[in-house]
Structure 1
């Protein structure tokens, strides 16, 4: 006789109906990872919490479908009724509340985009909308949609349009082919479902890994690229009988190995500068192991090893409210950032409000509707009324009210406190702040006036239009593609001009083209300007990971073509400009340092240095604040004053050193955007300065053209 410690664990009927404590604990881990990632930026791989949810969901939904099919009950309409009751009410409440709360906060263009985002989220197609827009989930420099996190709900519901039908078809075929008692029919159905789902899981994973190499942004939101994660949970459900037969001495190590794999997955997924689907194999496998080895092992039967971190009452309760927490956390973080600066008060207010609203939503909306008779069939209605619900929710509602009140108090306290002190002057011996002539002096006076403004002037264009507008004039934008367009289409000034300027670099260089076009056109036939700059292609030798991996794939050939065009044209001046935003070097798998940057730049300039008159490194606009984040109906000019990012200064110093080393010139852009103390306004005169954190507006490019020409002339670059 087998020892009792080797027998499969059994569960009571009550335990079979109750949620598994370890799975609720996994849900708590998942939602806390996501919240920490979005609120603190740490852990960097915290976004895998969504993938944990996908595996759990695949397991639970498949389990319920199999149980329903085993009893010979109608499947499809029953399933969709449950999904509607479980998902739609709370999701709709948060969408409506987010749109209402955002109205007095967001600028008109951002609010209009939010309404479209909310409509796509309500229809469960928001992942397709964000993929079509080229949204980069990991781009922290752009203000995200307050409902961007609904992409995961959309993926989930799209998958569940297919899974119930698959189980139902497998059940029909099993009954026909088995010609045997119900138990054999059920086994045949399970086998058929597994045979169908297994290849689908492999195909989905293979597609995600291969397609993700050229389109990581789009793949992140792809439905089919996520099927394998749901499928992993579903396969655990299909093999539940085998999992339940595991002896405790085997199940215990498997569970802890699974938890270790989840931790490893968080670390590995957070190491890269770009999303890579293969890294998700660890958290997905880990969660599948924890769920599978825990089948049949309940508090009464005894878990194989102490799982207190997952099964304690706090973890279980956080797992219970994890859906509401997930719904509320992101709009709170995004909208609160428009009202108060990030810091300890921000984090405390965000946590208190998301926890309070989630508790209230769970007890007042989510659970009552979930266990109501709404949309229920007569038979299930009688059974459902016998469901044992949790105890009184009055203490929870009181706690929710207190938490929301605390959050409101923290926001008021932060808004009433003094603004943080500004940093010291953003200048050094290697990067002195200088003003060269009357045009820059006049611009500097306008910068100081803007910094002192207490009210928004009548901007032209409006800040809202500037944020939503293009990075450059249409004809210049058309010249900023890969491969390099014909020279005749992207050259301005006299065709017979004896002097030539070529503009090289990424999208920041594109925004500088208009001033040099104006300089050439006003030069009396002495200069012509040609652009070979391209959106999404940083002009360094390294492979720089950016938000658009499709553009990045074309970048090496484009850079080689640019070098060839420079050698052919032999210009008098090559002006090189790239964004100084932190860039991930895919060749070394690390953030690019100033030394890396200078080495990568020199490797390219060495190829054409003998074919040009002079090389100029023109610094991009300083990385200050992101106007698309700070600007809104309640924002003041002071709220949108930025300070220069230290990484920008590091890269500028590296380029200046490189210029000195190779006999090139370095032109500092700070006097056109900021004062000597490194404070940068969001408008100058009546012109918005930037449309995001990186790119200046076309109107501001026109405004600073005299200052650019003056500095280049004073330096002897365009005599």
Structure 2
């Protein structure tokens, strides 16, 4: 249903995503760099869905094998990071903050960091949030919850309503997006952190995995889509900020931008695509997970130390 051939330009897109997040957290002129997370969600949905779809078609899909591979890929690195952060927190944090860090470590290990931080009234964009070393693991929790639930749902759809799989997933994505738009004012924290409201971003990648092989995209269209997609992502990074009502409707900009890049770059030899496929961008993309894991604790602890020095 979707090709499994390696696409270096997707790693290039990962690089743009993680650099946006890093620059945003470092305060280096990308006030909307946080939307890199949304681009990551689309990429994850696209790649994971492709794996599942192809294995289901071949009759080789196993939930146990799928989950085992995801655990081996995700958990060792994040668990090691969390242990290191907890050890550093022992020396750098006051007792009450250390207890809070321990609680967030437990939540992270239970794949529920997004729920833990949603219950923190501080929110993602607050000054207090900048001092929470494991805040960034909320995104991993969203993806992990998706990896647990989506294979079950799609396996059932594939076996019993195969003809309507794509349409049903589109409806699920629209319902998720609609709930985010409807409740963004009354429950902004829930809309930001919870899987049911974020699921449409991952499902956008799923929909792309289903329908992209059926689309006839020539080189000119591919170039146009890639250019539009990169432009949308960069504009969001440059002009969104902490006051933007997000995710809600505005999340469509980076999500559709990511969809356009993934759809178009496969058929394009433009300068933009060559840039995405360049060795530096691919190299950054290949280590994007590690960069994401470690950058935030370093930033958070550096701010904690600055506060301690100023007291």
TM-score, with structure 1 as normaliser = 0.41
Q: Give the structure, 1 or 2, with the largest relative contact order (CA under 8 Å, sep 6 or more).
A: 2
Q: What residue in structure 2 maps to residue 200 of structure 1? A: 172
Q: What residue in structure 2 maps to residue 328 of structure 1? A: 294
Does residue 1:233 correspond to 2:205, yes or no? yes
Q: 2:123 aligns with which of 128, 136, 150?
A: 136
2:151, 2:196 → 1: CA distance? 16
2:88, 2:128 → 1: CA distance? 23
Return the offset for 1:271. 7.0
Q: Classify 1:251/1:273 alpha carbon distance in 2 versus 1 (closer, same or farther; 3 Å).
A: closer
1:584-619 alpha-carbon deviations (Å, 9 max, x no partner): xxxxxxxxxxxxxxxxxxxxxxxxxxxxxxxxxxxx
Q: 2:95 aligns with which of 97, 102, 108?
A: 108
Does residue 1:312 correspond to 2:299, yes or no? no
1:351-381 alpha-carbon deviations (Å, 9 max, x no partner): xxxxxxxxxxxxxxxxxxxxxxxxxxxxxxx
Does residue 1:92 correspond to 2:79, yes or no? yes
1:130, 1:319 → 2: CA distance? 27
Return the offset for 1:254. 1.2
1:17, 1:285 → 2: CA distance? 23
Does residue 1:58 correspond to 2:24, yes or no? no
Q: 1:283 aligns with which of 235, 251, 254?
A: 254
Q: What residue in structure 1 maps to residue 24 of structure 2? A: 37
Return the offset for 1:232. 0.5
1:244-288 alpha-carbon deviations (Å, 9 max, x no partner): x31112211111111111123224432735535211101100100
1:119, 1:285 → 2: CA distance? 34
8 A Cα contact 1:269 1:276, kept in partner: no
2:160, 2:129 → 1: CA distance? 51
2:29, 2:192 → 1: CA distance? 19
2:130, 2:12 → 1: CA distance? 32
8 A Cα contact 1:55 1:229, kept in partner: yes
Return the offset for 1:67. 1.0
- The unaligned stretches of length 5 or more in structure 1 are 1-10, 175-188, 298-302, 342-629, 632-638, 642-719
Q: 2:224 aligns with which of 253, 257, 277?
A: 253
SS in 2 for 1:331: helix
1:165, 1:294 → 2: CA distance? 31
Return the offset for 1:336. 2.1
Return the offset for 1:74. 3.1
1:267, 1:309 → 2: CA distance? 19
The within-5 A match list for 1:539-578 is none
Q: 2:235 aligns with which of 254, 264, 280?
A: 264
SS in 2 for 1:139: coil
- The unaligned stretches of length 5 or more in structure 2 are none
1:274, 1:240 → 2: CA distance? 30
Return the offset for 1:141. 5.1
1:39-75 alpha-carbon deviations (Å, 9 max, x no partner): 1263111100000100000000000111111111133
1:523-549 alpha-carbon deviations (Å, 9 max, x no partner): xxxxxxxxxxxxxxxxxxxxxxxxxxx
Q: Classify 1:107/1:75 alpha carbon distance in 2 versus 1 (closer, same or farther; 3 Å).
A: same
Q: Classify 1:167/1:143 alpha carbon distance in 2 versus 1 (closer, same or farther; 3 Å).
A: closer
1:220, 1:264 → 2: CA distance? 21
8 A Cα contact 2:233 2:257, kept in partner: yes
Return the offset for 1:225. 1.0
Higher strand share: 1
SS in 2 for 1:148: coil
Return the offset for 1:640. 2.7
SS in 2 for 1:137: coil
Q: Classify 1:251/1:275 alpha carbon distance in 2 versus 1 (closer, same or farther; 3 Å).
A: closer
8 A Cα contact 2:184 2:245, kept in partner: no
1:148-175 alpha-carbon deviations (Å, 9 max, x no partner): 000001111112222111221123225x
RMSD of aligned Cα (Å): 1.8
TM-score, with structure 2 as normaliser = 0.93
Q: Classify 1:273/1:51 alpha carbon distance in 2 versus 1 (closer, same or farther; 3 Å).
A: closer
How many pairs does the alignment contain? 308
8 A Cα contact 1:75 1:168, kept in partner: no
Q: What residue in structure 1 maps to residue 59 of structure 2? A: 72
Q: What residue in structure 2 maps to residue 337 of structure 1? A: 303
The within-5 A match list for 1:687-702 is none
2:93, 2:269 → 1: CA distance? 51
1:247, 1:41 → 2: CA distance? 37
8 A Cα contact 2:224 2:264, kept in partner: no
Look at both structures and tell me which one has the larger radius of gyration over its CA atoms.
Answer: 1
1:53, 1:219 → 2: CA distance? 17
Return the offset for 1:143. 4.5
1:230, 1:74 → 2: CA distance? 20
1:211-251 alpha-carbon deviations (Å, 9 max, x no partner): 011221332112111011001111000112123x3111221
